[in-house]
Structure 1
Amino acid sequence: MAAIGAAAADPVAVTINGRDYTRAEFEQLMRNIGGNIPAQFNSNRQGFLDMFALTQRFAEEARKLKVHELEPYKSRIAYNEMMQLAQYVLDVKNREAKILPEHQRAYYDKNPNKYSAARIKVLYLAFTNTALPGAAGGRTEADAQALAARLKAQLSKGADFVKLVREYSDDPDSKSKDGDFPDIKPSDSSLPTNITQAVFALKPGEISEPIRQPNGYYLFRLEQMIQQPFEQVRDDIYIELQKEFLDQWVEGVRKSVQVEVKDESFLQGQARP
């Protein structure tokens, strides 16, 4: 009776080449396959079912002809299986990482600098090297470099950073905020490395040397270093620990890899098409 009730609750939704699928079974199959397949299925279910059934028939015909035993298909199938399994084992190992809240907290306490942020002000001096001779407006790179050096000298003698921002900065957004710039993190990949390194080399109140970028020079003043709360970076730490676990496992497997080239000329040749 229980089986009858279960069947009634989830009846057959589609039969494909003689195989019955309930709605739950086929939708779970799509999720298991993953990638963009669920989206394709949901965008046009009838079209997808037709394609699925036809592809299934093609595969059956291939098995009858023993295509999987013929070259070059045999090698291609083996290679694709190897690549798929290699990816899948990484997924499986990634899920094996047992990362507890106490592990995340300990990592946070051990790496305080990693979860700090620099609160800064910026003064930006734009330049252009493409202006036509005699054209009005625009500052050349040489002019911007000289001005940046002059402002840096003034700041070193105690000039008001905000006052100079209001007078000279060419960045409307930060200028309207007296030079305030979004906080920078050590791992911030949205900024050039030389800017991040220069900012984190400063102490509060210090001003960077002029930093050249393709369209201008920057001067940064470090206002303060801010420690991000543990609750704010908890998820980032989980991902970091998960990556460390997987990297250690991969490195262990890598050490077992053996490649011995017997003929050095083999490395210089090109595979035939």
Structure 2
Amino acid sequence: MKVKLFMTRHRLLWLLLASLAWYQATTSRSVLEAQTPPTMATTARDLGHRSEISNTAQDKPLITISGLCDNPSADESAASNCETVITRAQFEKVINAIQPGMPAHARREFALHYADVLVMSNKAEQMGLDTRPNFEEQMRLARIQVLSRELEKVIQEQTSQISEKDIEDYYSNNTSRFEKAKIDRIYVPKIQQSLPTSDKELRDSDASVRSRKSEKTMKAEADNLRARAIAGEGFTKLQADAYEIAGIKTAAPNTIMVIRRISLPPGQVSVMDLRPGEVSEVLTDPNGYDIYKVETKDKLSLDQAREEIKATLRSLHKQDAMRNVEDSTNTTLDESYFVRGRSQ
């Protein structure tokens, strides 16, 4: 197999290394023998055994790595004849351990990554890197990481079962969450994009003064636009005026939209408390000012909200389960150890 440059695939290789760390944790034998049954790794001595492998789809060789040996010989010609064979069943076992349901189009590239990691790991063992002082500690930490991920997966599976009663109860207890409103909105940029040619004072001032004066101008314009909206002027015209004052040359956006509480930033959820026909105060966002007018209000039906509720409850149940695990213990630290600059 032609060896690919490692750096071109570093992200998935590191994912694979992290995900497969468990197979190195208990032995310093061949990386192949440690992960799977002995039939996964065959050398030149075992070529006769390969002819006995069933020709079923699962037992058919899928990846063959020529030159990868469990126990490389000093004889270079012998070493070049040995190979490692991975069957479809063995490869799918790896896939299921890392990403069950991996798309078919991703499996070929992953197989190449997998082969690269096996070659690198085998070479590392030949160099004795698994006998370095920190190796066992790294494997212990990798085992902890894998176990914590497995626990999270089990918790997710256990909390994913949502009953119809849970869905109905959440819907009835959170009716405001499912309200929706058709609204008109005016967006007023906080800073003018360009200044009037006659505004010599602003052009000659420094940037911070220019920004403050521009923001003051646009806030006054937002207050004026709100007053005009209350008086009954159309929001399309008001939005166009806002863009003109801001010096924006592109066409003004459509002012009609449908919103819900969950789609609004925290400082603007009060819009959902307006009655049809009412105009909001001038509300601030990081980049400008918003003015809303509620046209109509409605609510999602239970059927419309069902999948959203399921996803919300799964998340809440998982958070509760994880919190219960975390709260079952108490962690204390010797803070003196972490004081910056303190000698140990």
- Name the TM-score, length of structure 1 as normaliser: 0.73
* Residue number among 150, 153, 178 corresponding to 1:115 in the alignment: 178
Residue 172 of structure 1 pairs with residue 220 of structure 2: no
Contact 1:41 1:48 in 2 (8 A): no
Shift in Å, 1:199: 1.7
Gaps of 5+ in 2: 1-51, 70-82, 200-212, 244-250
Indicate the residue corresponding to 2:165 in structure 1. 102
Bigger radius of gyration, 1 or 2?
2
Matches within 5 A, 1:1-273: 7-14=55-62, 21-34=86-99, 41-43=107-109, 45=111, 47-48=112-113, 50-58=115-123, 61=126, 67=131, 70-97=132-159, 98-126=161-189, 128-129=191-192, 131=194, 134=197, 140-156=214-230, 158-162=231-235, 164-165=237-238, 168-170=241-243, 172-174=252-254, 179-181=255-257, 183-188=258-263, 192-195=265-268, 197-261=269-333, 263-269=334-340
Indicate the residue corresponding to 2:4 in structure 1. none
Change (3 A) 1:13 1:228: same
Change (3 A) 1:54 1:180: same
Contact 2:187 2:239 in 1 (8 A): no
Contact 2:124 2:130 in 1 (8 A): no
Change (3 A) 1:30 1:135: farther
State the AA in 1 paired with 2:122: R
Moved more, 206-215 or 218-227: 206-215
Change (3 A) 1:21 1:270: farther
The share of aligned pairs that are identical, in percent, is 21
Change (3 A) 1:271 1:154: same
Shift in Å, 1:107: 1.7
Change (3 A) 1:154 1:129: closer
Partner Cα distance (1:13, 1:54) in 2 = 17
Contact 1:118 1:199 in 2 (8 A): no
SS at match of 2:253: helix
Shift in Å, 1:150: 2.5
Count of equivalent residues:
252
- Name the TM-score, length of structure 2 as normaliser: 0.60
Change (3 A) 1:271 1:100: farther
Change (3 A) 1:99 1:185: same
State the AA in 1 paired with 2:186: L
Change (3 A) 1:134 1:95: same
Higher relative contact order (CA 8 A, sep 6+): 1
State the AA in 1 paired with 2:256: D
Moved more, 18-27 or 120-129: 18-27
Contact 1:40 1:48 in 2 (8 A): no
Partner Cα distance (2:309, 2:115) in 1 = 45
Q: Tell me how large the CA RMSD over aligned residues is.
A: 3.7
Moved more, 114-123 or 50-59: 50-59
Change (3 A) 1:200 1:127: same
Shift in Å, 1:229: 2.6
Partner Cα distance (1:132, 1:121) in 2 = 28
Gaps of 5+ in 1: none
Partner Cα distance (1:20, 1:206) in 2 = 72
